[in-house]
Amino acid sequence: MNRSWTYILAALGIAVLIGIGLFSSRFILYLTMRVMILSIFAMGYNILFGRTGLLSFGHAAFYATGAYGVALCTIHVHSHPVLAVVAGVIAAAVMALIIGFFCVRHTEIYFAMLTLAFGMMVFSLMWNVRGITGGDDGLSGIIRAPISLGLISIPIMKDSQYYFFVLMFFVVSVLLIHRIGRSPFGLVLASIRENHVRTEFAGLPVKRYRLAAFVISGAFAGLAGGLAVFLESNVTPFAAHWSRSADPVLVSLMGGLQTFSGPLVGSVLFVVLRELIERFTHNWMLWFGLILLAIIMGFRGGIVGSTAALLKRSSEQG
Amino acid sequence: MDGQGMKRRDFIKAGLLTAAASALGPGVMKPVGLWAATPSIKGPVKVGYQAVLSGTLAGYGEFHKMGAVMAVEEINAAGGIAGQKIEMEIRDSTLAAPTAIQNVRYFVDSWGADLLAGVDSSGQALAVAPVMGQLDRVLMVTHAATEKLTEEEVFKKGVRQVFRICTPTYQDGNAAAFVAKDLPAMSWATINPKYEYGFTTWNMFKETLGKLKPGVQFTAESWAPFGTTDFRPHINTIMDAKPEGLYSVVWAGELITMMKQAKQAGLFEKIKHVMLPVGAAMDVLEGLGAEMPDNIWISGRYFFLYPDTPQNKDWVARFKKRWNHYPAYVSETAYSTMFAFKKAIEAAGSKETGPVIKALEGMELDGPAGKRVFRKEDHQAMYDVPWGLTVSSPNYPFKIMGKQIVIPAKEFFNRPPFEGDASKPPFKS
């Protein structure tokens, strides 16, 4: 797509998001926040999945680590939300470094199974250390203290205020991920996906690059988890369950693996579709599954991917 | 890379825009809810109900639904609440905390619910409570039993919007101990679920029984994770320890499995005193049928043969006629919830949250389960549910509660301020 178009679209997107923040009802705010949080999770995840070609089934572990990092920091250390989020992201990155160290030695199904196993290990660890994590009851009532910046402090207690906190992290994340994709580092990741043997022959330390991608995507997962804690004001070990790990995979597949904005579009669909279906039927899981199936099978390369291909073909013909 | 400069500038622009918007945000706040200006009750009373309607426990959700739907039909047929009809929407809670939060937000902010009810798991109840404070709507919990909900969230943290109409874990832990103290068993063991509900109830049972009957011993514990299908290792552990009594809050389908496997292993010949705090659930009694041994101590949050009043008998008969089922305890709590809402709104003359909370606090309610009082301090409904021994009956295709023992709620419910031994039974007065 033309570069100026990208800018116009991005500016439009931010304008719409700010507009939603200022003028819409509490429920729309809530849904939009959930979309943004899921987007951060999925776009970060896609650095590993779409970009590097590694399918992880354990990213909920980092999501939950970020979430517990934020919750524990708020309760025991300091209630400053920015500090808590930073702590959560660091905790998630460290966890990703440890788990990634063992996982990146393998690829394909072995990698997927290893990440799944480690993910469930983190889940059962959180389930069992009840004194710290609260067992299956989790930790609840995590409050959003005002962000104090020396002289002034910005309250984020209300949803309409917290929205802009999430929006800020969302915009920063999108820009960062975009930047990573365009950087030499991002190109190396793509070359690893295409042919890791050749990349290795080019003299690049493939495992280290994989590990870096793993840690970066883990850190974004942690950020998403941390923001979700403040949104829902609670966290339980289920945040680390493998079913949560499936969310970014589905979202990326729906939107388009090889595209930058795919996971974003996927997140919007994921949240909005479920919300709509639940209004019509209690069997929402069945219908949701069917629609996901149709999207994944019907749109090759996801919604964004296939739309882009369609536009390209029509412009070539015209 | 000529794009770098541009992007950095964009980055700053975006940052500034966001910052500006966050500064503006609080200033352009929405006016308060629609109801704020409404003096008296206008329009239908909208109740958002959530229960588990998918997965292995979906049967529980159906029982919630039967009770709630029946109450709404009856109230509307008799003229509604203060002349207004009840409108109810039911949503699947899936047992996951984020879904429960999503549901209450949908109900209040999108659908426009006046009151909320339902919620099955303790984790969900604890997660939803602070949100109820934010959304400022009354939530009547009909199934989740954790005492932390009323002790911590309502009493200590002051979430006044949350009430609970079903018996909490006191029924499972404390009341069981009151029954156990009169049994000729001096050593107890447990097979309990490996999550908070299992840990809490066993601790409560141990603590209270230890006080009531000094010298009693607790000899073995075996923890079964959620989803256990093979209880034989757990059963063997317990039988090896040779206790005189077995206590277990394993529930629903897992309890059915455990009872069948325990019977095969001959556990009931070796251990004479078995207590199942949630054994009187209809899904368990119907599911086990004749396979449920006799003389097992069972209880629940309501049992359809108690109290022996015309009101209860009449309700059970109507329920049987309407749904071709005997009411499960969640059916009773869901049914009574609607009548609690009716009574509170009519007393308050308003469906706004503040007046409804005031009316509910300390309110008496007559329902199929008998007389309830919503304790003012922690919003917990006080009412009596019997413990009893299983027995066969020619009138029912399943075992029922024979010999019934009723321990008055005020004797074993923890008391405010929920700190120290003085708040826990046994009480002097």
- Facing B148 at nearest CB: one of A21, A34, A137: A137
What is the predicted pLDDT for the residue at B25?
A: 46
Average pLDDT value over all residues in chain B: 90
The pair of three-digit structure tokens given for residue A168, joined into one six-digit string: 């800020």
CB pairs under 8 A between A and B: 129
Residues 121-150 of A with CB under 8 A from B: 127, 130, 134-138, 140-141
Tens of pLDDT, residue by residue over A140-160, are 888 888 888 888 888 888 888
Domain residue ranges of chain B, discontinuous segments joined by +: 45-167+308-382, 171-306+386-423
Determine, for residues A27 and B131 on separate chains, whether the beta-carbon distance falls below 8 Å.
no
Tell me the Cα Rg of chain B: 24
Q: Report whether CATH 3.40.50.2300 matches the domain B171-306+386-423.
A: yes
Chain B contact present for A27, CB below 8 A:
yes
When pLDDT is cut at 50, 70 and 90, the band that residue A79 belongs to is: confident
**Beta bridge partner(s), residue B223:** B192
Contact between A38 and A246 under an 8 Å Cβ cutoff? The reply is no
What are the DSSP calls for A186-247, one per residue? HHHHHHHHH-HHHHHHTT--HHHHHHHHHHHHHHHHHHHHHHHHHHHSEE-GGGGSHHHHHH
Domain residue ranges of chain A, discontinuous segments joined by +: 19-241
Chain B contact present for A175, CB below 8 A:
yes
The pair of three-digit structure tokens given for residue B169, joined into one six-digit string: 């874990």
Chain A contact probe: residue of B126, B151, B154 with most A CBs at under 10 A: B126
Asked if the peptide bond before residue B417 counts as cis, ω within 30 degrees of 0, the response is yes
- Main-chain dihedrals φ then ψ at residue A173, nearest 5 degrees: -65, -45
Tens of pLDDT, residue by residue over A240-256, are 998 889 899 989 988 88
- State the Cα–Cα distance between residues B100 and B50, nearest whole angstrom: 8
- Facing B109 at nearest CB: one of A18, A26, A34: A26
Tens of pLDDT, residue by residue over B207-235, are 999 999 999 999 999 999 888 999 999 99
- State the Cα–Cα distance between residues B379 and B361, nearest whole angstrom: 7
Tens of pLDDT, residue by residue over B139-166, are 999 999 999 999 999 999 999 999 999 9
**Distance to chain B for A61, nearest Cα, Å:** 17
How large is the average pLDDT for residues A37-51? 93
Determine, for residues B126 and A234 on separate chains, whether the beta-carbon distance falls below 8 Å.
yes
Count Cα atoms within 13 angstroms, Cβ side, for A225. Answer: 39
- State the Cα–Cα distance between residues B266 and B239, nearest whole angstrom: 9
- State the Cα–Cα distance between residues A67 and A123, nearest whole angstrom: 13
Neighboring chain B residues of A282 at a CB cutoff of 8 Å: 53-54, 90-92
Closest CA to A157 of A147, A167, A171, A168: A147
pLDDT above 90 coverage of chain B, percent:
82
CATH entry, B45-167+308-382, from 3.30.230.10, 3.30.1600.10, 3.30.1050.10, 3.40.50.2300 = 3.40.50.2300
What is the predicted pLDDT for the residue at B16?
A: 58
- State the Cα–Cα distance between residues B278 and B330, nearest whole angstrom: 12
Closest CA to B231 of B205, B267, B199, B202: B267
What is the predicted pLDDT for the residue at B37?
A: 42
- State the Cα–Cα distance between residues A154 and B51, nearest whole angstrom: 38
What are the DSSP calls for B212-238, one per residue? HSTT-EEEEEEEEPTT----HHHHHHH
How large is the average pLDDT for residues B395-415? 94
What is the predicted pLDDT for the residue at B19?
A: 56
Long-range contacts of B156-161 (CB under 8 A, 24+ apart): B156/B418, B157/A141, B157/B129, B157/B130, B159/B129, B159/B130, B159/B132, B159/B133, B160/B133, B160/B357, B160/B379, B161/B132, B161/B133, B161/B135, B161/B136, B161/B137, B161/B353, B161/B357
**Residues for chain B: how many in total?**
429
Tens of pLDDT, residue by residue over A240-296, are 998 889 899 989 988 888 888 889 999 999 899 888 888 887 777 788 888 888 887
For the cut 50, the answer to whether the pLDDT of residue B127 exceeds it is yes
Chain B contact probe: residue of A18, A26, A127, A136 with most B CBs at under 10 A: A136
- State the Cα–Cα distance between residues B123 and B197, nearest whole angstrom: 10
Q: Would the pTM of this model clear 0.95, i.e. be above it? A: no
- Facing B130 at nearest CB: one of A23, A141, A182: A141
**Distance to chain A for B107, nearest Cα, Å:** 10
For the cut 50, the answer to whether the pLDDT of residue B35 exceeds it is no
**Beta bridge partner(s), residue B275:** B247, B297
Tell me the three-class secondary structure of B30-91, residue by residue. CCCCHHHHCCCCCCCEEEEEEECCCCCCHHHHHHHHHHHHHHHHHHHHCCCECCECEEEEEE
Contact between B304 and B325 under an 8 Å Cβ cutoff? The reply is no
Determine, for residues B7 and A175 on separate chains, whether the beta-carbon distance falls below 8 Å.
yes
- A96 or B38, greater pLDDT: A96
Tens of pLDDT, residue by residue over B239-253, are 999 999 999 999 988
**Residues for chain A: how many in total?**
318
Q: What is the ipTM of this complex?
A: 0.84
For the cut 80, the answer to whether the pLDDT of residue A74 exceeds it is yes
**Distance to chain A for B129, nearest Cα, Å:** 8
DSSP symbol at B244: S
